[in-house]
Chain A
Amino acid sequence: MSESVAVDQPPAPASMPAPAQVKRRNGVIERTLADISHTMGHTLFSEDIARHSGLLQSLDPRVKVISMLALLIAVGLSRNLAVIAGLYGVTLALAWRSAIPVGFFIKRVWLFLPFFTGVIALPALFITPGPTLLSLPFGLAITRTGAMSALFLLLRVSTSVSMAALLTFSTPWNDVLKALGVLRMPEAVILIFGMTYRYIYLLLNTANDMFLSRKSRVVGRLTGADQRRMIGATAGVLLGKSLHLSSEVYLAMQSRGFRGHARAPSVASFNMRRRDWGAFVVVAIVTVSAIWLGQ
């Protein structure tokens, strides 16, 4: 989604003034929002990488889903920084072997990390009692224990998020859903996953379209206040649209006989090959040793 919109430029009529060579800057807020929706679109919905050939791409989706869950558990149970760091290293190596540009991968994950962890990790720095590492004004002090637990949290979350990202990058979303189905995940949950993904896609698309259509209509620069007003209005419209969408989709499902308990069609026709079993065994060994070493 959100490919740059290629508009064929008609030859400018003679009376059209040539564009002045001035860089026009969009407002900061607008650029940030557009960036976020663009990035989200690319990270969450780009299936380009999943179609490349690479190590993870060649594995059965079921193996990937189970492996991810096992490794997530290992990360969660481990009380040893080195072990978690090691698992992070493994994740990066897998990314590299799966045609995922490692720089891009690290950057994408860390970009969203502050949202998840910052809020929790920051207070932990100060409020955890223990020997003082660094004294700050106002009687605040970063304790050794606090720093350690913040570091743990950060590394745990970044490793877990990386693993989840690895799965979604290397596997088309439909296959992830199917694998969950094969693994006896309740159908309703899978239906919700699938629809959430679709909603986000549709809303991001709508947000992008709204930015574009506004851009095409705005002549001249807007003041900061005007911009904020417009963005507020946009957000309101988006919320209204998502509510409308969910009730309409429900009608569409009802119309085709849906009665609240989903019968999701399963077309899964996966087959485990030798390399899948191999990967399975390797992951099992890594998981068990990580848990054991991490005690």
Chain B
Amino acid sequence: MNQVHNETLFDLHEVTFAYEGKQTALERVTLSIQAGERIAVLGSNGSGKSTLLKLLDGLYFASSGVIKAFGQPLTEAAFDDDVFNFAFRRRVGLVFQDTDVQLFSPSVWEEAAFAPMQLGLSKADVHARVDAALRALRIEKLRDRAPHRLSGGEKRRVALASVLTLQPDVWLLDEPTTGLDPRSQSWLVNFIVEQGRAGHTVITATHDLSIVDAIADRVYVFDEAHHVVAQGTPHDILSNTDLLLACNLSHDHVHRHDDGGEHTHPHAHPLAHTHAHE
């Protein structure tokens, strides 16, 4: 457990969001997240996880309801203010689910340098941050490669590095384990644990139940109607098989027994552990 400060980072009240005014993605969502918490957002495909992260990052704005971050309402007008925009962007970093949209620079080095350049850091600082990030993700060898020509897992690491150079204290991670090999996956879990220890807030959207216990202190569950249907500790949520089944987060498992009989029972994978020794 991390030290959770008594500062409310994000506060959502009855937030509804619809794409182009039609396609509902979030429906009357109310939740609140404290600074220093590690949160997992669970939900099946299309339940609204990515949309939530984009709202939290101030990229989309609520169709109705109120979102507050750092005590300020997140509205388009708020981001028109350069001072607020700068302060918000340097604190909050979002790693997109689709790495192809996240990586737009001609080389890995420039990709990682993009965020600190926008912050207006000195050349020496930019170099130092980029070098450190590439080292941390073990991708120094890729520094001159074009990001769009990398493998899926390599792209994911570059995407992480490109936000790491921002040194945010709030991380929004959208399905970060997708495409990672087991070693990189356990590295990532470790990374989230470390960020939590450093007092940073980490909000992870995922449907990978096996990592939830390791990366979260608290879990929010979305259903297919884009509502928050449950919240609780990883243990509470993961042991609630009915809930997981109802939200399509676990599946029925068919067993065949030696006597030839068959039976079906709900089955999740919450107990698969990742051991990271690094």
What is the CA–CA distance of A249 and B101 in the complex, to the nearest angstrom? 5
Interface residues of B in 152-177 (CB under 8 A from A): 162-163, 166
- B75 smallest CB distance to A (angstroms): 15
A255 to B119, CA, bound (A): 12
B→A interface (CB under 8 Å)? 54, 57, 59, 82, 85-86, 89-90, 93-94, 96, 98, 100-102, 104-107, 109-110, 113-115, 117-120, 126, 144, 146, 148-149, 162-163, 166
Q: A263-B120, A265-B110 are in contact. Are A252 and B105 (CB under 8 A)?
A: no
Chain A positions near chain B (C-beta within 8 angstroms): 1, 173-174, 177, 194-195, 197-198, 201-202, 245, 248-249, 251-259, 263-265, 267
B100, B117, B148, B149: which contacts A264 (Cβ < 8 A)?
B117
Q: Is the CB of A256 within 8 A of B163?
A: yes
- State which of A177, A249, A257 has its C-beta within 8 Å of the C-beta of B104: A249
A202 touches B100 (CB 8 A): yes
Cβ contacts under 8 Å, B115 to chain A = 256-257
User: Would you call B109 and A267 a contact (CB within 8 A)?
Assistant: yes
A245 lies within 8 A of B101 (CB)? yes
What 11 new A-B contacts, CB under 8 Å, besides A198-B104, A253-B114, A265-B117? A173-B146, A174-B144, A198-B106, A245-B101, A252-B101, A254-B59, A256-B162, A256-B163, A257-B89, A258-B118, A267-B110
Give the interface centre of A1, A198, A255 by most chain B CB atoms within 10 Å: A255
Q: In the complex, A259→B114 CA distance in Å? A: 12
Known: A174-B144, A201-B148, A265-B113. A259 touches B101 (CB 8 A): no
When C-beta atoms are compared, the residue in chain A nearest to B120 turns out to be: A263
**Least Cβ–Cβ distance between A172 and chain B, in angstroms:** 9
A6 to chain B, nearest CB (A): 16
Minimal Cβ-Cβ distance residue in B for A205: B148
The interface residues of chain A lying within 8 Å CB-to-CB of B110 are 264-265, 267
A191 to chain B, nearest CB (A): 9
- List chain A residues, Cβ under 8 A from B54: 251
Across-interface contacts of A173 in B (CB, < 8 A): 106, 146
Interface of A is mostly: helix
Nearest CB of chain A from residue B210's CB, rounded to whole Å: 28
CB closest chain-A residue, reference B163: A256
List, in ascending order, chain A residues with CB within 8 A of B119's CB.
257
Would A198 and B148 count as touching, CB distance under 8 A? yes
In the complex, which residue of chain B has the Cβ closest to the Cβ of A255? B94
A sample of 29 inter-chain contacts (CB < 8 A) reads A173-B146, A194-B105, A195-B104, A197-B106, A198-B104, A198-B106, A245-B100, A248-B96, A249-B104, A251-B101, A252-B96, A252-B101, A252-B102, A253-B114, A255-B89, A255-B96, A256-B118, A256-B162, A256-B163, A257-B85, A257-B86, A257-B119, A259-B118, A263-B118, A264-B117, A265-B109, A265-B110, A265-B117, A267-B107
Q: Is the CB of A256 within 8 A of B114?
A: yes
CA distance A197 to B126 in the complex (A): 25
Give Cα distance in the complex from A194 to B120, angstroms.
21
- A173 to B144 CA separation, bound complex (whole angstroms): 11
- Shortest C-beta distance, B200 to chain A (Å), equals 17
When distances are taken between beta carbons in the complex, the residues of chain A under 8 Å from B166 are: 256-257
> Which of A174, A253, A256, A264 has most chain B Cβ within 10 Å?
A256
**Which residues of A sit under 8 angstroms from B59, Cβ to Cβ?**
251, 254-255
Q: Which residues of A are found within 8 Å of B94, using beta-carbon distances?
A: 255
Which residue from chain B places its CB closest to the CB of A1 in the assembled complex?
A: B149
Residues of B within 8 A of A263 (CB): 117-118, 120
Say whether, besides A257-B90, A259-B85, A174 and B118 are in contact (CB < 8 Å). no
**CA–CA, A117 and B16, complex, Å:** 53
Kindly provide the distance from the CB of B110 to the nearest chain A CB, expressed in whole angstroms.
Answer: 5
**Closest beta carbon of chain A to B92's beta carbon, Å:** 8
A258 to B162, CA, bound (A): 13
User: Can you list the 7 inter-chain pairs with the closest CB atoms, starting with the nearest?
Assistant: A257-B118, A265-B113, A248-B101, A256-B115, A257-B89, A263-B117, A251-B59
Q: Please report the C-alpha to C-alpha distance between residue A251 and residue B82 in the assembled complex, in whole angstroms.
A: 17
B54 nearest CB neighbor, chain A only: A251
> When chains A and B are docked, how far (Å) is the Cα of A257 from the Cα of B106?
18
What A residues does B162 contact at CB under 8 A? 256
Residues from chain B with Cβ under 8 Å of A1 in the complex: 149
**Chain A residues, Cβ within 8 Å of B113:** 265, 267
Cα separation A263 to B96 with both chains bound (whole Å): 22
Q: How far is the CB of B87 from chain A (nearest CB, A)?
A: 11
